[in-house]
Amino acid sequence: MSTPLESWVEKNARLMKPERIVFCDGSEEENQRMFAEMVREGDTLELNPKTYPNCYLHRSNPNDVARTEQVTFICSEKREDAGPTNNWMAPEEAKQKMSALCDGAMRGRTMYVVPYIMGPARSPISKVGVEITDSAYVVASMRIMSRMGKVAMERLGSSAEFVPGLHALLDVNPERRFVMHFPEEKLIWSVGSGYGGNALLGKKCLALRIASVMAREQGWMAEHMLILGLEAPDGKVTYMAAAFPSACGKTNLAMMVSALEGQGYRVWTVGDDIAWMQIGADGYLRAINPEAGFFGVAPGTGKHTNPNVMDAIRKNSLFTNVALTPEREPWWEGIESAPPAGMIDWKGKTWDPAQGPAAHPNSRYTVPAQQAPSISPKWEDPAGVPISAFIFGGRRARMAPLVYESFDWQHGVFVGATMASETTAAATGAVGVVRRDPMAMLPFCGYNMADYFGHWLEMGKRIPHAPKIFHVNWFRRDTSGKFLWPGFGENVRVLKWILERVEGRGEAQETPIGYVPTKGGLTLDGLALAPGAVDDLLRVNAADWEPELADTRQFLEKFGERLPKELLEEHHKLAQRFQRSVPA
Ligand code: OXD
Ligand code: MN
């Protein structure tokens, strides 16, 4: 009798017709075979073994360098269950399409079967997934990003309790690129892309889109959040989870070297991208990082912005689409070393600065989390870490003060549901375009976001010691367009205020949007801010909030009848507080 896993593999082998099937065990020997295979294929090379031992550089197809939201679908039975923010396709239609594309797709190729655990091997919060793929790069990446191979097979045994994921490269053609999710069946099916977010099915597909559906069904939370611990001078560590849209420095915050280390405040990394959280026996929301590695954006990462990650990536790391120096070391814009002569760009050609950056702007490092000097001693605790604060944030040039605390859980859910970020010049050319990205989950929620807001509201009623909810903005600018706040390691000053608020201390003033620190409430010693910068950072400007109120209302109305009434109620209350705050 075959196990459910074996039957599923056989069924898909009949469809994809590979030349051979390899069940991956996650061993070092297998890993070396994967890299040898990638080098043979011609798109991967070994980096300098003296300075970057066991590190490789992979160059992807230039048409395949980022997540493709336009071809990412939620295939629920009913269109309304995917909601207005997701692409939808009927499950039968999607399956027919994918079956036709996958018929014979692995002819002459190897089908790798990759069992993996998202989360620490012995945590009750963790889940098993199995990915079928024809990409050695995916196998090597999954080995860094999850607990892969034997350990996962041991957890799975002969049970059917795994999330199946099918992945085939096909001809890596954008015309035949789809990332499909079947939330009722908990199935993932992705073709035509080898890019991380589309092809490493444990990450965005399982740990966020499918897990968000499971979390709602089972009463827990799957969020696009980093997890960090802030250690205070008395040695006590307070854990916080934070959601930011991309390009807002999530990895840098999670791995920060604290500017207040001399005063005894230190930051520990538990995770940099995803948090799975369940209510623990102690009444706290307990979070695990389902991933085992960091898949971070390389450009902009340097000794000043993220020294911990720069340390971590010196061994056992896989780089994708970065540039290559003549010393066979990786290089990218923002690495804080001058570009050497004779650089090879991310496409494998001699770099011509007139033709654009040497590294692709979305080039990446993939590194085992345990190599980070800042990794928390609790990062693999099966029980998870207790979360005391949620932090939402985005890039807002004018609107949001440096930090504020919501009045209560329901108000905090409104703050998260209406959060937004402004596009940067680097990303689009159009500066300051506001994009609403509720809880940073817009591209990652596997069901109707109106129901997702409802789930958040429900969770607030169920968690005995619910986290306090905050909003931060590192990106406020002065009238000349200069950033008011230095960011990076100095952000610990804001985390310190959050910690004090969690403990019932921390000086704050009440404003229409929430509690904002008083000037004296923030620890600013040793920081040379421009005159008046603190006032500018903490100001709540009624005139700025008027258009914001109109825009958030329009955004919420998109969800129609399904939107929980509590969010409109919070919108109304916010408008009223502003009215009251303006003298007649
Ligand atoms: C990521 C993303 O790669 O959010 O983590 O896009
Ligand atoms: Mn992310």
The per-residue pLDDT for range 440-479, each reduced to its tens digit, is: 999 999 999 999 999 999 999 999 999 999 999 999 999 9
- pLDDT at residue 378 is higher than 70: yes
Q: Is residue 106 part of a domain?
A: yes
Mean pLDDT, range 535-549, rounded to an integer: 96
- For a mutational test of ligand 1's pocket, the pick from 72, 195, 204, 321, i.e. the residue with the most ligand atoms closer than 8 A to its C-beta, is 204
Q: Which of residues 176, 202, 219 is at a domain's end? A: 219
Distance (angstroms) between ligand 2 centre and the Cα of 297 equals 10
Question: How does residue 166 score in pLDDT terms, banded at 50, 70 and 90?
Answer: very high
Q: Given this model, what pLDDT does residue 424 score?
A: 65
Same domain, 445 and 541: yes
Say whether both 214 and 235 belong to one domain. Answer: no
Torsion angle, alpha carbons of 347, 371, 297, 395, to 10: -170
- Whether ligand 1 lies within 6 angstroms of the CB of 368 is answered as no
The β-bridge partners of 276 are 222, 288
pLDDT of residue 306: 95
Q: Do 399 and 256 have their domain in common?
A: yes
Query: What is the rounded CA–CA span in Å between residue 118 and residue 114?
Result: 12
pLDDT at 91 (0 to 100): 98
Token representation of residue 125: 């919060």
Pairwise CA distance, residues 389 & 343, whole Å: 44
Percent of the chain with pLDDT strictly greater than 70: 98
Does any domain span residue 346? yes
Assign 106 to helix, strand or coil.
Answer: coil
What pTM did the predictor assign? 0.97
Q: Is the CB of 58 under 6 A from ligand 1?
A: no
Span from the CA of 244 to the centroid of ligand 2 (angstroms): 9
Q: Is residue 313 part of a domain?
A: yes
Q: Are residues 118 and 102 in the same domain?
A: yes
- Check whether 298 has a pLDDT greater than 70: yes
- If you measure from the C-alpha of residue 569 to the centroid of ligand 1, how many angstroms do you get, rounded to a whole number? 32
Which residues are identified as catalytic?
248
Q: How confident is the model at residue 583 (pLDDT cuts 50, 70, 90)?
A: low
Nearest CA to ligand 1 atom 5: 273
Looking at the chain, the whole-number percentage of residues with pLDDT higher than 90 is 95
> 64: Cβ below 6 Å to ligand 1?
no
Nearest to 407 by CA among 523, 275, 576: 576
Rounded (10°) CA dihedral 136, 138, 139, 141: 120
Please indicate, yes or no, whether residues 547 and 450 belong to a single structural domain of this protein.
yes
Residue 53 has pLDDT above 90, yes or no: yes
Does residue 584 register a pLDDT over 60?
no
Other beta carbons within 10 Å of 60 = 24
Residue 441 placed within a domain: yes
244 and 149 co-located in one domain: no
pLDDT tier for residue 427 given thresholds of 50, 70 and 90 = very low
The answer to whether the beta carbons of residues 317 and 288 sit under 8 Å apart is no
Domain boundary residue, one of 219, 243, 276: 219
CATH of the domain at 367: 2.170.8.10
Does the CA dihedral 516-518-519-522 come out positive or negative? negative
Angle between helices 565-581 and 409-417 (to 10 degrees): 90
Say if ligand 1 is within 6 A of residue 67 CB.
yes
Q: Is residue 515 exposed (0-12), middle (13-18) or buried (19+ Cβ within 10 Å)?
A: buried
- Phi-psi region for residue 344, left (φ > 0), alpha (ψ -120 to 50) or beta? beta
**Among candidate residues 327, 292, 446, 366, the one with its CA nearest the CA of residue 47:** 327
Instruction: Provide the number of structural domains found in the chain.
Output: 3
**CATH at residue 150:** 3.40.449.10
554 backbone dihedrals φ, ψ, rounded to 5°: -60, -40
Is position 61 within any domain? no
Q: Whose CA is nearest to atom 2 of ligand 1?
A: 246
Q: What is the pLDDT of residue 382?
A: 98
Q: Which of 248-257, 327-336, 429-438 has the lowest mean pLDDT?
A: 429-438
Unique residue bearing structure tokens 């993939």: 366
| CA of residue 358 relative to chain centroid, distance | 25
Q: Is there a single domain that holds both residue 251 and residue 350?
A: no
Residue 273 in contact with ligand 1 by CB distance below 6 A: yes
Whether 385 and 353 share a structural domain: no
Report the SS3 class of residue 422. strand
Average pLDDT (267-293) is 98
3-state SS, residue 188: strand
Q: Are 492 and 258 in contact (CB under 8 A)?
A: yes
**Cα–Cα distance, 194 to 199 (Å, whole number):** 5
342 with 421, same domain: the answer is no
Residues 309/315, Cβ–Cβ less than 8 Å: no
Report, in this order, helix, strand and coil percent for the chain, each rounded to 5. 35, 25, 45
Residue 249 included in any domain: yes
pLDDT in tens, 63-100: 999 999 999 999 999 999 999 999 999 999 999 999 99
Q: Are residues 210 and 228 in the same domain?
A: no
> Is a pLDDT exceeding 50 seen at residue 300?
yes
Q: Is 131 found in the same domain as 10? A: yes
Among protein residues, the one with the nearest Cα to ligand 1's atom 6 is 246
Confidence of residue 426 (pLDDT cuts 50, 70, 90): very low
What's the CA angle centered on 177, arms 176 and 182, to 5 degrees? Answer: 120
Mean pLDDT of 211-215: 98
Range(s) of the domain holding residue 336: 293-371
* AA letter at 265: Y
Mean pLDDT of the chain: 96
Give the distance (Å) from ligand 2 centre to CA of residue 204: 8
Q: What DSSP designation does 208 have?
A: I
| Residue-level pLDDT at 432 | 73
